[in-house]
Chains A and B, each alone.
Chain A
Amino acid sequence: MQPKLGLTGWLRWFWRQLTSMRTALFLLLLLAIASIPGSLVPQRTSDPNGVTQYFTDNPDLAPILDKLQAFDVYTSAWFSSIYLLLFISLIGCVIPRTKHHFQALRAKPPTTPARLGRLFGFTTQDAPAHTDARDAITHARTVLKSSGYRVARFDSDTESSVSAERGYLRETGNLVFHAALVGILITVGFGGGYGFSGQRVLVEGQTFVNTLLAYDSFNPGRFFDDTTLDPYTLSLDDFSVSYEQRNLQAYGQPIDFTADVTVTPKAEAAEPGAVKVNGPLRTNGTSIYLLGNGYAPTIQVTAPDGTVVFSDSVPFLPQDANLTSLGIVKVPDGLAEQIGMIGFFYPTQDTAASGANFSSYPDLEYPLLTLNVYTGDLGLNAGVPTSVYALDTDTLTQQTGGKTGVASIELKPGASAALPGGLGTVSFIDNNPASSAAGDFTQSVPRFASFDIHHDPTQIWLISFSMLVLFGLFTGLLVPRRRVWVKATTRADGTVHLEYAGLARGDDPALEAAVSAVAARHLKLLKTHQTVVATPEST
């Protein structure tokens, strides 16, 4: 009959299972498998539009997958439980090993085995004449100590030996590696809560103040206090792009984006700066990244009586590599009816065989703005938040373009056109009429840049833990831990017999070479010493 396990017995059994290497290995492989779905299905964190599209494309499957948290794999209950169990298992394994390692660091190397012949790199030598066994071991001890071994000496009537061990750094590295991984997990898990990230689009000439309301979108961490935002200002002075023009294979490919900005900290002097794609601007505890850019045509709408009811540079979102861009204009007040406009902007307009417009080059060579006008209720009065980049046309009546039979409004920079139904006039304001008149349109339309502004106080911790991970890997995998023994036995005739051998603790390809190196150095030392001793005798 088996003894009954009490609650503590079961807990102990469970803990032992969890912290076993076999479980750790199982959880590691499970973690690898559990990561796969996140690369097959779009994730809300990295590709929110992809998720929306997936719901549209697979209306039956998507809700089921959503129940399984397949769109949030890396924060899902099942993924989290795997890595949390893995880390508990890891901690449960590392703590006793750390204790054991501390004891080993203080302990003496073990007693020399009786038979060295069964160990690795076993070598025997006859000591040079007139060598004393105990002296030979004293020299062996010196050789081993100078090679970084920790040594213990054992003497008896017939034989002397030294037992040596080195490579404690291997286990230290191993433990540091695992502890640093725990550090990374904790930093990522809790540290992310202390920062924020926010997005803001700025058109050339615009200024932004680092306050909560000024952001287009803002994602604070759990513990972030938004009153701590440092109210500096950021102005986009100029956004310059250069395009490849010599290499025809890559004609029109952007080769540089630079946002020239001015940062003015509160009550301090303004400082010029630049934000590039691979070069964020680190200022006032935040990092400013350049994530996107495009054109922001300046559009003005005037009522029939001449009152300007809308005037703004509207960021148009790029749709292709040649920057065919799509933008929305909403004019809720000041006209007889509310109007919405869906605009296409072509920096270098060209006409396809089908008659459709397209852009053939991303820079402003021959800019054209087309507008489809809608009238009706824009839905802005209901108090429901709406995107400035989308126009819900369900409640609107199309007046130009499409199937209306009325041609879309087409405007060159500086041109104006009447809105349908005598509602007023729409103008495409030229940013630099003088140079456009000379045929150079490159200054006619302002550009916008979209910035990501982040604050993450934990990055310094992450990089430190990462360095520890690398240190731990190097030492834990590459430093050999080995024991080496040297034994000297005095024979009946007074000569001394030397034995050398080693034992690997963990992977150690160079053990045998190390033992023979110790033997060679030891013999050399004995010979030098012999000469010194022997010389007075011979005189």
Chain B
Amino acid sequence: MNLIDSALLNSYSLYALYSAMAIYALAFIAFAVDLARRSSAVGAIEAADLVETDAASSAGFAASAGSTVTLKRPVLSRISARMDDDAALPYGRSSSLRVGVALTVLGWALHLAATIMRGFAADRVPWANMYEFALTGTLLIMTVFLIVLIRADLRFLGTFVTGLVLVLLGVAALQFYVEVAPLPPALQSAWLVIHVFVASLATGMFALGFALSTVQLLQFRRENRTLEAAAARSAVASGRRLRFLATLPSSATLENLAYRINIIGFILWTFTLMAGSIWAEQAWGRYWGWDTKEVWTFIIWVIYAGYIHARATRGWRGSRSAWLAIIGFSAVMFNFGIVNVFFKGLHAYSGL
């Protein structure tokens, strides 16, 4: 490719990226407004509940407020729960939520364009250094989120997903940015395409799993409080903060969803590890050498293996396994952000 075209294309890619970030920021605000509306709606119902303890249904709500009081402890043995509307106070899709999703799709399209243009500018796959890896990795997080939305209504995670992607893109653009450079001989392999792409895809899955597990923990705390309040026969006391949780699925449903997404992530991560081994054998003459990046990939694999086993261990289902998913994703982020930049090892392709 002509060098001037390449530079021009790269600058278009940057314009598209900054536009995508601006749109994501707007989407983030819309999603946050939706959560705030949910909170105030729950607050209104609870206030009404104090006045009139009978099940007084409120306009716009499918379930009565009374169901909050009679809420049963989630049955964790019920494994096959669908993503049904088992929220304490089901809440429809507000206009701000719709705006948030629409903006996310628009931002995603620009993000995709930015990534593709970067790839064409460099005349190769756009994931050969930290900046490009962050660009593609966040694109995949967003893609996974949007695809999952078709099958399960996880729109309430919009704040988290757009927020995470925005922070990562910001760090990438400010701290990791490097100009287009040709591939060093060590990266000239078909495995760059496969290994790194699948690793990014796995990261996207783990990010969603992390978000679901976090909400699960918060939801579980709220459910316990509601139960305690019901036991004390007092009025609903779901707490001042995070009232919107009452409009989200139950902790058991969230746990099942997190599990399903994390096992896909785990399979992809296993593949990443194997593909990496095959590539390492070709490039470095050994399939496994406890290089710092290999160590952390292994640690992450073991943590998620632990997470899967925790689901089958008495006393570890629910909150404890959720913590493992959170630790697992923290390790993924550590592996990407810290190990790449600060640890000495063979995976020195950050380009920094």
Which residues does chain B contribute within 8 Å of A466, judged by CB atoms?
Answer: 274, 277
> Could you tell me the dominant secondary structure of chain B's interface residues?
helix
Q: Contacts A39-B296, A247-B3: A257 and B185 contacting too (C-beta < 8 A)? A: yes
Q: A282-295 CB contact bits vs B (8 Å, 1 = yes)?
A: 00000101010000
CB atoms of B309 and A46 under 8 A apart: no
CB atoms of B181 and A244 under 8 A apart: yes
Which residues does chain A contribute within 8 Å of B343, judged by CB atoms?
Answer: 39
Which residues in window 18-47 of A have CB below 8 A to B? 21-22, 24-25, 28-29, 31-32, 35-36, 38-39, 42-43, 45-47
Residue on B nearest A21 in the bound complex, by CB: B313
Is residue B56 within 8 Å, beta carbon to beta carbon, of the partner chain?
A: no
The smallest beta-carbon distance between A136 and chain B, in angstroms, is 26
Which residues does chain B contribute within 8 Å of A35, judged by CB atoms?
Answer: 295, 298-299, 302
Q: Contacts A466-B274, A511-B80: A244 and B299 contacting too (C-beta < 8 A)? A: no
Which residues does chain B contribute within 8 Å of A452, judged by CB atoms?
Answer: 285
The smallest beta-carbon distance between B265 and chain A, in angstroms, is 11
Is residue A512 within 8 Å, beta carbon to beta carbon, of the partner chain?
A: yes
Mark the stretch among A205-213, A308-316, A359-367, A500-508 that contacts chain B.
Answer: A500-508
CB atoms of A277 and B186 under 8 A apart: yes
Which residues does chain B contribute within 8 Å of A38, judged by CB atoms?
Answer: 290, 295
Q: B274-307 CB contact bits vs A (8 Å, 1 = yes)?
A: 1001110111111111111001101100110110
A22, A249, A276, A509: the one contacting B256 at CB < 8 Å is: A509
The smallest beta-carbon distance between A78 and chain B, in angstroms, is 15
Residue on A nearest B302 in the bound complex, by CB: A32
Question: What is the bound-complex CA distance between A511 and B79, given in angstroms?
Answer: 10
Which residues does chain B contribute within 8 Å of A463, judged by CB atoms?
Answer: 278
Q: A462-487 CB contact bits vs B (8 Å, 1 = yes)?
A: 11001001100110011000000000
Question: What is the bound-complex CA distance between A244 and B309, given in angstroms?
Answer: 50
CB atoms of B185 and A512 under 8 A apart: no
Q: Contacts A39-B295, A512-B80: A255 and B259 contacting too (C-beta < 8 A)? A: no
Which residues does chain A contribute within 8 Å of B260, judged by CB atoms?
Answer: 507, 509
Is residue B270 within 8 Å, beta carbon to beta carbon, of the partner chain?
A: yes
Is residue B109 within 8 Å, beta carbon to beta carbon, of the partner chain?
A: no
The smallest beta-carbon distance between B238 and chain A, in angstroms, is 28
B3, B292, B296, B306: the one contacting A25 at CB < 8 Å is: B306
Is residue B148 within 8 Å, beta carbon to beta carbon, of the partner chain?
A: no
Is residue B263 within 8 Å, beta carbon to beta carbon, of the partner chain?
A: yes
B82, B285, B346: the one contacting A280 at CB < 8 Å is: B285
The smallest beta-carbon distance between A170 and chain B, in angstroms, is 12
Is residue A253 within 8 Å, beta carbon to beta carbon, of the partner chain?
A: yes
Residue on B nearest A251 in the bound complex, by CB: B181
Chain B interface size, as a band, is: 35 or more
Residue on B nearest A453 in the bound complex, by CB: B285
CB atoms of A253 and B184 under 8 A apart: yes
CB atoms of B181 and A253 under 8 A apart: yes
Which residues does chain B contribute within 8 Å of A50, judged by CB atoms?
Answer: 344
CB atoms of A45 and B183 under 8 A apart: no
The smallest beta-carbon distance between B352 and chain A, in angstroms, is 14
Which residues does chain B contribute within 8 Å of A32, judged by CB atoms?
Answer: 299, 302-303, 306
CB atoms of A289 and B284 under 8 A apart: yes
Q: What's the A-B contact tally at a CB cutoff of 8 Å?
A: 151
B182, B188, B287: the one contacting A250 at CB < 8 Å is: B182
Q: Contacts A21-B309, A25-B306: A47 and B186 contacting too (C-beta < 8 A)? A: no
The smallest beta-carbon distance between A122 and chain B, in angstroms, is 12
Which residues in window 309-343 of B have CB below 8 A to A? 309-316, 324, 339, 343
Q: B130-152 CB contact bits vs A (8 Å, 1 = yes)?
A: 00000000000000000000000
The smallest beta-carbon distance between A22 and chain B, in angstroms, is 6
The smallest beta-carbon distance between A481 and chain B, in angstroms, is 11
Which residues does chain A contribute within 8 Å of B284, judged by CB atoms?
Answer: 289, 291
Is residue B180 within 8 Å, beta carbon to beta carbon, of the partner chain?
A: yes
Question: What is the bound-complex CA distance between A466 and B303, given in angstroms?
Answer: 19
Which residues does chain A contribute within 8 Å of B271, judged by CB atoms?
Answer: 470
The smallest beta-carbon distance between B163 and chain A, in angstroms, is 28
Q: How many residues of A contact B (CB 8 A)?
A: 60
B285, B292, B311: the one contacting A291 at CB < 8 Å is: B285
Question: What is the bound-complex CA distance between A86 and B88, given in angstroms?
Answer: 42
Is residue A141 within 8 Å, beta carbon to beta carbon, of the partner chain?
A: no
Is residue A381 within 8 Å, beta carbon to beta carbon, of the partner chain?
A: no
Residue on A nearest B2 in the bound complex, by CB: A246
CB atoms of A470 and B282 under 8 A apart: no
Is residue A215 within 8 Å, beta carbon to beta carbon, of the partner chain?
A: no
Residue on B nearest A514 in the bound complex, by CB: B80
Question: What is the bound-complex CA distance between A374 and B182, given in angstroms?
Answer: 43
Question: What is the bound-complex CA distance between A289 and B278, given in angstroms?
Answer: 14
B79, B281, B298, B344: the one contacting A47 at CB < 8 Å is: B344
CB atoms of A459 and B256 under 8 A apart: no
Q: A243-286 CB contact bits vs B (8 Å, 1 = yes)?
A: 01011011001111100000000000000000011111000000
Residue on B nearest A36 in the bound complex, by CB: B299
CB atoms of B185 and A249 under 8 A apart: no
CB atoms of B287 and A459 under 8 A apart: yes
B82, B191, B292, B305: the one contacting A28 at CB < 8 Å is: B305
Which residues does chain B contribute within 8 Å of A277, judged by CB atoms?
Answer: 185-186, 188, 283
CB atoms of A29 and B186 under 8 A apart: no
Which residues in window 208-222 of B have CB below 8 A to A? none
CB atoms of A276 and B185 under 8 A apart: yes
The smallest beta-carbon distance between A391 and chain B, in angstroms, is 27
CB atoms of B316 and A278 under 8 A apart: no
A29, A120, A289, A478: the one contacting B303 at CB < 8 Å is: A29
CB atoms of A473 and B270 under 8 A apart: yes
CB atoms of B292 and A39 under 8 A apart: yes
CB atoms of B302 and A253 under 8 A apart: no
CB atoms of B188 and A278 under 8 A apart: yes
CB atoms of A278 and B282 under 8 A apart: yes
Is residue A166 within 8 Å, beta carbon to beta carbon, of the partner chain?
A: no
Q: Contacts A35-B299, A278-B186, A507-B256: A29 and B79 contacting too (C-beta < 8 A)? A: no
Residue on A nearest B267 in the bound complex, by CB: A473
CB atoms of B290 and A46 under 8 A apart: yes
CB atoms of A45 and B290 under 8 A apart: yes
Q: Contacts A25-B306, A197-B285: A253 and B182 contacting too (C-beta < 8 A)? A: yes
The smallest beta-carbon distance between A154 and chain B, in angstroms, is 24
The smallest beta-carbon distance between B271 and chain A, in angstroms, is 7
Which residues does chain A contribute within 8 Å of B281, judged by CB atoms?
Answer: 459
Is residue A522 within 8 Å, beta carbon to beta carbon, of the partner chain?
A: no
Question: What is the bound-complex CA distance between A21 and B312, given in angstroms?
Answer: 8
Question: What is the bound-complex CA distance between A512 and B271, given in angstroms?
Answer: 31
Question: What is the bound-complex CA distance between A509 and B80, given in angstroms?
Answer: 5
CB atoms of B188 and A39 under 8 A apart: no
The smallest beta-carbon distance between A477 and chain B, in angstroms, is 5
Is residue B179 within 8 Å, beta carbon to beta carbon, of the partner chain?
A: yes
The smallest beta-carbon distance between B205 and chain A, in angstroms, is 13
Is residue B266 within 8 Å, beta carbon to beta carbon, of the partner chain?
A: yes
Is residue A74 within 8 Å, beta carbon to beta carbon, of the partner chain?
A: yes
Question: What is the bound-complex CA distance between A253 and B188, given in angstroms?
Answer: 14
A25, A253, A507, A512: the one contacting B259 at CB < 8 Å is: A507
Which A-B residue pairs are the 3 nearest by beta carbons?
Answer: A250-B181, A249-B179, A289-B285
Question: 15 A-B contacts, Cβ less than 8 Å apart?
Answer: A22-B314, A46-B345, A255-B183, A256-B185, A276-B188, A278-B185, A278-B191, A454-B285, A466-B277, A477-B263, A477-B308, A504-B80, A508-B80, A509-B256, A511-B80
- Chain B interfacial positions (CB closer than 8 Å to A): 3, 6, 79-80, 82, 179-186, 188-189, 191, 256, 259-260, 263, 266-267, 270-271, 274, 277-279, 281-292, 295-296, 298-299, 302-303, 305-306, 308-316, 324, 339, 343-346
